[in-house]
Amino acid sequence: MTLYIMCGVPGVGKSYFAKKKLMEGPGWKYISRDEIRYSLLKEEEDYFSHENEVFEKFIIAIKNAFNDDGIFNVIADATHLNWASRNKLIRNLGKSLNKVNVIPIMITADPITVNEQNEQRTGPACVDRSVIRRMTASLTDPKTDPYNYTAIMYVDNSKHDLVEKPKFMYYKNDIKMKEIPIKEALKK
């Protein structure tokens, strides 16, 4: 069993990557904190008005997926910007993480790409640019977390980067294992 923890600011492409690049074949379960939130929100309600219930349902859904014999890979889709938010998830999953590989996937992109993708969103999914800037400032690399992850994946989703750099990197025990294009990595 593997838990993939999506990490990144709104509009960077976490959900797209999870749904279109990771989930190939049977055995995958995608759990989105936003999808849970939108199922509870009524028109005119504040985005965070059900935050405790949203988080509780998020944790329950992940634990239920761990207990499903047909599921081998669980994707926890939320911003998980820093150790505090990733630790909250890990702490609340508790003993259910026994024998589970935990792999954060840090999705990054240049600010132009993030803003363009965010502006294509509608309703509460479209986040104010000032909020994205603040969230970007609080984003931390999972390598600095005091947790022994099975591995850490990095995906660069930039569309406007002038410097050629790898689109996919994979680290295990602080050793760079792979630096290859995403499509090649996911074929393996």
- Give tens-digit pLDDT for 58-97: 999 999 999 999 899 999 999 999 999 999 999 999 999 9
Whether residue 118 is predicted with pLDDT greater than 50 in this model: the reply is: yes
Sheet hosting strand 168-172, strand order edge to edge: 28-32, 73-77, 2-7, 101-108, 152-156, 168-172, 175-179
3-state SS string over 74-102?
EEEECCCCCHHHHHHHHHHHHHHHCCCEE
Q: What is the domain-level CATH number for residue 93?
A: 3.40.50.300
Token pair recorded at residue 20: 């279109």
Residue with the bigger pLDDT between 129 and 45: it is 129
Per-residue pLDDT band for 168 (boundaries 50, 70, 90) equals low
- Judged against a pLDDT cut of 60, whether residue 2 lies above it is answered with yes
- Note down the domain range covering 177: 2-187
Tokens of 114: 């993030």
Mean pLDDT rounded to a whole number for the chain: 83
| Confidence band, pLDDT 50/70/90 cuts, at residue 116 | confident
8 Å CB contact between 120 and 114: no
> Which of the residue ranges 51-55, 114-118, 141-145, 169-173 would you say has the lowest mean pLDDT?
169-173
Strands (E), 9-128: 28-32, 73-77, 101-108
Q: Residue for token digits 């026994």?
A: 98
Residue 108, pLDDT > 90, answer no
Count of structural domains, the chain = 1
Average pLDDT over residues 94-118: 89
Name 109's Cβ contacts closer than 8 Å, sequence gap at least 6.
Answer: 12, 13, 117, 156, 157, 158, 159
Which uninterrupted H or E stretch holds 116? helix 111-119
Residue 145 CA to residue 8 CA, distance in Å, equals 15
